[in-house]
Amino acid sequence: MKLVYFPLRGRAEAARLCLIYGKVPHEVDTIPFSSWPENKKSGRFPYLAVPTLELDDGTVIAQSIAVLQYAGSLAGLAPEDPLEQAKALCLALSVEDLIQQALQFKNEKDEDAKKLKLERLMASQEFFMGTWVKQLGENPFLLGDKLSFADFAIFEWLDGICSITKMIDVESAFPTLAAFAERMRG
């Protein structure tokens, strides 16, 4: 099995962490940004995007949340109960919503529009982080006592995007999430 992505953490990182946690044998195929236009035209990527997970039988799983959910299932990190599955998926998709907003902000050329997109991103991030805090409650993980692929998605936002961009001081604004991230690092 091969996890395919660019040479950065991004949308593939939570899936990669799930595979490592579950000791699932896999390779990582890193595509340099310079060769992406050529790779995109190759027919290798069903939705013309990465990450993908290429299985040994030739099956390609595309779309970051589908890749995460499948990797989580292989790693024993997918809830068995359908309601808990839906909750995990909802949490992972909330991160994808934030990633979409972050990319819109990053790619905006007009300075006034960029400012508005940053304000929207910051408001959404604060709202979602508050929702994550409520979801955690007094539990060690987002779905209670059992680790799931959703924990890795939220962790990647906190440890990756938040710590890299410094958009928000998670430790002071959301100490519950900072403690959660620290548990995930351990």
Report, as an integer, the average pLDDT of 159-186.
Answer: 85
Which among 137, 122, 118 has a CA at the least distance from the CA of 169?
Answer: 122
* 109-156 residue pLDDT tens: 999 999 999 999 999 999 999 999 999 999 999 999 999 999 999 999
Residue 50 has phi, psi (to 5 degrees) of -120, 155
**Structure-token pair, residue 144:** 């209670």
Which among 121, 95, 96 has a CA at the least distance from the CA of 108?
Answer: 121
pLDDT of amino acid 164: 62
Give the DSSP letter string of 58-93: S-EEESHHHHHHHHHHHTT-S-SSHHHHHHHHHHHH
* 37-50 residue pLDDT tens: 999 999 999 999 99
Average per-residue pLDDT in the chain?
94
**Distance (Å, rounded) from C-alpha 22 to C-alpha 150?**
14
Alpha-helical runs (H) found in the chain: 13-21, 36-40, 64-74, 82-107, 111-136, 149-156, 163-165, 170-173, 175-185
Q: Residue 77 above 90 pLDDT?
A: yes
Assign 163 a pLDDT band (cuts: 50, 70, 90).
low
Radius of gyration of the chain (CA): 17
Q: What is the pTM of this model?
A: 0.93
**Distance (Å, rounded) from C-alpha 17 to C-alpha 39?**
25
pLDDT of amino acid 58: 96
- In terms of pLDDT, which residue wins out, 171 or 161? 171
Assign 171 a pLDDT band (cuts: 50, 70, 90).
confident
Q: What number of other Cβ atoms are within 10 A of residue 28's Cβ?
A: 13
Beta strand 2-5 pairing with 52-54? antiparallel
Cβ atoms 127, 98 nearer than 8 A: no
Q: Residue 79 above 80 pLDDT?
A: yes
pLDDT of amino acid 32: 96
Whose tokens are 């099956």? That residue is 59
Distances in Å between the alpha carbon of 84 and those of 80, 180, 183?
A: 7, 19, 21
Highest mean pLDDT among 33-47, 151-165, 167-181: 33-47
